[in-house]
């Protein structure tokens, strides 16, 4: 029976068994879409990735990203983790691996820069593949029911819950404090109601809750829930963090500048993750969003197909 090799890494951390776990198949040639989906479901991680030769030889690889239930066009921690894994290799589909990679994905091209320490890759930075897109707003009371908190805990005075995307859409929702954030639990019936009422990007209603530090507003704590996608909670969500960073900076009064944000996630799950973001704003618009994180290897093996 044919087999494919895999590795797993913990992403947005330098410590094993924290951060967000990711399964990577570094050479997925020979697998079809159904097999990729089955393997992603078997791992049960929020995402698994499958690496294929690029369609355009100028790019490094095609990367397909699967949750346990569907293929998604872009995600943050799968790109950071996949880049980390591929960066350890001497070559990728016959070409030397340098410090810059470019992935073909459903959402577009994802540019990657690797950070090395004594020739070993320790971290990766990815550039969001799409500009910020802000979608429809959602009823704050419904979002509060989705995560089992009081409606007054949602900071509607700053913004109503809103879909935002730089490649994958999330419902950004600011809460009043860490107590409310810590109390959040997904309510499946409310999520099902939300899917009936709001279309989003057609990939469900992933809710990204966050709390800003009043003294240091670019230090943020967050949680992400997508129970209808078999992800009751995600320990680190780079694509949501990128969308939030772009959203906040675009609303920032300053017209131009470079902004650095740090988002801490997964604390309540015992899988603390640190996501670093760099955002460039020019003439009132966000022109660049980059997501950075460290990674560490956890497991290696093979899968019978």
Q: How confident is the model at residue 21 (pLDDT cuts 50, 70, 90)?
A: very high
The pLDDT of residue 305 is 85
- Segment 79-84 shows an average pLDDT of 98
Say what the pLDDT of residue 1 is: 65
Query: What is the percent of the chain with per-residue pLDDT over 90, rounded to a whole number?
Result: 92
Q: What is the CATH number of domain 3-129+294-304?
A: 3.10.310.10
Instruction: Look at residue 194 in the predicted model and tell me its pLDDT.
Output: 96
User: Would the pLDDT of 115 be above 80?
Assistant: yes
The predicted-structure confidence for 45-73, as pLDDT tens digits, reads as follows 999 999 999 999 999 999 999 999 999 99
Confidence of residue 137 (pLDDT cuts 50, 70, 90): very high
53 exposed, middle or buried (CB, 10 Å; 0-12, 13-18, 19+)? middle
Confidence band (pLDDT; 50, 70, 90) for 119?
confident
Query: Domain extents for the chain?
Result: 3-129+294-304, 133-288
Reported in sequence order, the residue ranges of the chain that DSSP labels E, i.e. its strands, are 3-11, 20-25, 48-52, 61-66, 71-72, 91-92, 95-96, 100-105, 108-117, 120-127, 133-137, 162-165, 169-174, 207-212, 219-226, 231-234, 257-265, 273-282, 285-304
The pLDDT mean for the chain works out to 95
**81 and 11 Cβ atoms separated by less than 8 Å:** yes
Fold match, 3-129+294-304 / 133-288:
yes
Determine the pLDDT at residue 201.
73
Binned at pLDDT 50, 70 and 90, residue 214 comes out as: confident
Tell me: the pLDDT tens digits for 156-204? 999 999 999 999 999 999 999 999 999 999 999 999 999 999 987 777 8
Residue range 117-128: average pLDDT?
92
Residues involved in catalysis = 47
Q: What tokens does 164 get?
A: 């935002």
Query: Per-residue DSSP letters for 86-138?
Result: HHTSSEETTEE--SEEEEEETTEEEEEEEEEETTEEEEEEEE-SS--EEEEE-
CATH number of 133-288: 3.10.310.10
Give 247-300 pLDDT, tens digit per residue: 999 999 877 999 999 999 999 999 999 999 999 999 889 999 999 999 999 999
DSSP state of 199: -
């Amino acid at each position: 029976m044919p087999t494919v090799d895999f590795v797993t890494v913990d992403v947005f951390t330098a410590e094993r068994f924290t951060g967000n776990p990711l399964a990577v198949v570094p050479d997925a040639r020979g697998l079809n879409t159904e097999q990729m989906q089955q393997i992603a479901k078997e791992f049960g991680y929020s995402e698994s990735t499958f690496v294929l030769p690029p369609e355009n030889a100028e790019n490094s690889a095609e990367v397909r990203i699967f949750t346990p239930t569907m293929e998604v066009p872009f995600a943050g921690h799968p790109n950071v983790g996949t880049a980390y894994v591929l960066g350890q290799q001497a070559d990728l589909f016959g070409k030397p691996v340098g410090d810059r990679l470019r992935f073909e994905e459903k959402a577009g091209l994802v540019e990657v820069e690797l950070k090395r320490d004594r020739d070993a890759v320790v971290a990766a930075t990815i550039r969001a593949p799409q500009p910020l897109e802000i979608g429809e707003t959602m009823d704050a009371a419904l979002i509060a029911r989705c995560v089992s908190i009081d409606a007054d805990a949602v900071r509607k005075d700053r913004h109503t819950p809103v879909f935002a995307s730089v490649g994958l859409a999330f419902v950004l929702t600011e809460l009043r404090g860490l107590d409310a954030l810590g109390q959040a639990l997904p309510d499946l019936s409310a999520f099902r109601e939300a899917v009936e009422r709001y279309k989003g990007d057609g990939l469900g209603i992933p809710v990204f809750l966050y709390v800003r530090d009043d003294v240091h507003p670019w230090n943020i704590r967050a949680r992400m829930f997508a129970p209808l996608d078999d992800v009751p909670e995600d320990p680190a969500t780079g694509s949501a963090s990128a969308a939030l960073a772009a959203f906040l900076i675009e609303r920032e009064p300053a017209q131009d500048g470079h902004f650095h944000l740090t988002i801490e996630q997964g604390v309540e799950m015992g899988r603390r993750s640190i996501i670093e973001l760099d955002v460039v704003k020019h003439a009132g618009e966000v022109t660049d969003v980059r997501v950075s994180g460290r990674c560490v290897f956890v497991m290696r093996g093979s899968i019978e197909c």
